[in-house]
Amino acid sequence: MHFAVRRCCVPVALMVAIGVAGAFAQSQNQGKRFQLKQSPKIIHNVPGAAPPAPGSSSTQLPVWNYHVVSPRDGNSYTGVIVGSNPQARGSHATTTVAAKLVPIILQFQSVATAANLTTGIITTAPGHAMSNPTAPDNACLTGNNNVPLNLLAHSPIFNSADFNFGGTDVGTTQYTDAFQRAEFWTEINRNQYHTLLGPVQVLPALTVKVPAQYGLSLPANIFQPDFSMCGPEGIVDINFLDAYVTNQLKNLSGVNPGTFPMFMIYNTGMSFGDPTNLGNCCAGGYHSIYPGVVANTFQTYSPFDFDVSGFFVSSANDTAIASHEVAEWTNDPYVINATPPWGNTGQVVGCQANLEVGDPLTGSEAPRIHMPNGFTYHLQELAFYSWFFGGPSLGVNGWYSNNGTFLTDAGPPCS
């Protein structure tokens, strides 16, 4: 296995938006609460171009190149991952990327009056409802932890906690960094290797009026007696939201291809088309790219749901979706990192062939983290680089995922 040290930014023509599997499937312990569903591809017209010359420009993502011959199929693979080469030592082993956190306030013009869990059809009427991550929510949250945006800002996505995977302390740091350290544990300078989001800047909220054909609000009691929600749950068409987000990228203060804009929605799933059909519901998040305002640059970004309504199963609560998307952005920022085919695990039915570290373990939790604000956060377990490309594992404890669900690699290529 060879790690190339060169840093650069890489062009890409299309990206995969990642969500999670299952429609309105049942869980033995959680009645008919919804599973997250895998997102469709979010494709933008990104013209092909030669990558910029390597350098340390603040307007380019810091990435390292890898080249590996996979024992799983004997083929050669290359790609880029955010951060420093795992074999870097000293001060060069730490990388930080500025995060721009953008809350999105959704103003719905349609409210559900009935929802049929057998047919999946939602009946609606004109009405007004709002999903606002910047406002207190005393129905689903309590005490001083009642503002969703503040909860996210104080989470282990952006703040340090002590992470221990299978009895090995991998450091007091952010969750994605703890995962990256564990993923390349045998290779890194354990004293100095880090891939961090920082500084984290919360930008002014964006307010989106959602036309009735693109979204709706589900009242808290609409699924009773099957199950209850603590508050309303929104549904917004993923393509409508993506068009809005990408149109705003060029207008956001301080956002450039060297930063990571993260768009937070609250208690709202993303449908794949008609929001009145539960069969189209719902993805929780995705990451993608868009052409940068400067030639030959590509802006990465990620919209995601912070959900505590009880609409989804608990493994999707609060920062579980964000942990999935941030880790996938880190390991496959331009969504071009090919792997030997793998599949039929996590959110994936059938085969995939990319380095999307969240997808194989969607629904599997990492240990929950209790933060100083008194809130206990949900985090998703993630698959290691070695799981995709083959052993022996470079990861902590010889594992192939950070909570030990995968103890061997993905095996023969999926077909």
Question: Position 396: which residue type?
Answer: V
Query: CA 42, CA 16: separation in Å to the nearest integer?
Result: 6
Q: Is the pLDDT of residue 154 over 80?
A: yes
Q: Which of 285, 338, 380 has the alpha carbon at shortest distance from 38?
A: 285
Residue 4: per-residue pLDDT: 45
The whole-number average pLDDT for the span 369-393 is: 98
Q: Which of 166, 174, 168 has the alpha carbon at shortest distance from 194?
A: 174
Query: CA 74, CA 63: separation in Å to the nearest integer?
Result: 25
Percent of the residues in the chain that have a pLDDT greater than 70, as a whole number: 87
Three-state SS for 173? strand
Query: CA 141, CA 136: separation in Å to the nearest integer?
Result: 8
Q: Is the pLDDT of residue 156 over 50?
A: yes
Residue-wise pLDDT tens digits, 167-181: 999 999 999 999 999
Query: CA 152, CA 378: separation in Å to the nearest integer?
Result: 11
For strands 288-291 and 298-306, give the pairing: antiparallel
More confident residue, 54 or 191: 191
Q: Is the pLDDT of residue 10 over 50?
A: no
Query: CA 301, CA 285: separation in Å to the nearest integer?
Result: 11
Residue 140: per-residue pLDDT: 98
Cβ distance 261 to 249 under 8 Å?
yes
- For residue 101, the cross-strand partners are 202, 262
Provide the pLDDT confidence category of residue 31 given band limits of 50, 70 and 90.
low
Q: Worst-scoring range by mean pLDDT, 30-34, 83-87, 284-288?
A: 30-34
Residue-wise pLDDT tens digits, 225-268: 999 999 999 999 999 999 999 999 999 999 999 999 999 999 99
What does R_g of the chain's alpha carbons equal in angstroms?
A: 20
Predicted structure pTM score: 0.91
Helices (H), 185-265: 238-248
Cβ distance 213 to 111 under 8 Å?
no
Q: Is the pLDDT of residue 318 over 80?
A: yes
Query: CA 252, CA 206: separation in Å to the nearest integer?
Result: 10
The whole-number average pLDDT for the span 358-372 is: 96
For residue 269, give Cα distances in angstroms to 134, 231, 328: 18, 14, 19
Q: Is the pLDDT of residue 50 over 90?
A: no
Residue-wise pLDDT tens digits, 298-308: 999 999 999 99
- For residue 81, the cross-strand partners are 64
Q: Is the pLDDT of residue 218 over 80?
A: yes
Residue 385: per-residue pLDDT: 98
The whole-number average pLDDT for the span 107-122 is: 97
Q: Which two tokens stand for residue 58?
A: 């603040």
Q: Is the pLDDT of residue 13 over 80?
A: no
Residue 2: per-residue pLDDT: 52
Query: CA 183, CA 83: separation in Å to the nearest integer?
Result: 13
The whole-number average pLDDT for the span 14-39 is: 49
Residue 12: per-residue pLDDT: 32
For strands 260-266 and 288-291, give the pairing: unpaired
3-state helix, strand, coil in the chain (%, to 5): 15, 35, 50
Cβ distance 270 to 112 under 8 Å?
no
More confident residue, 107 or 53: 107
Q: Which of 406, 338, 301 has the alpha carbon at shortest distance from 77?
A: 338
Which H/E stretch holds residue 329? helix 320-331
The whole-number average pLDDT for the span 88-97 is: 95
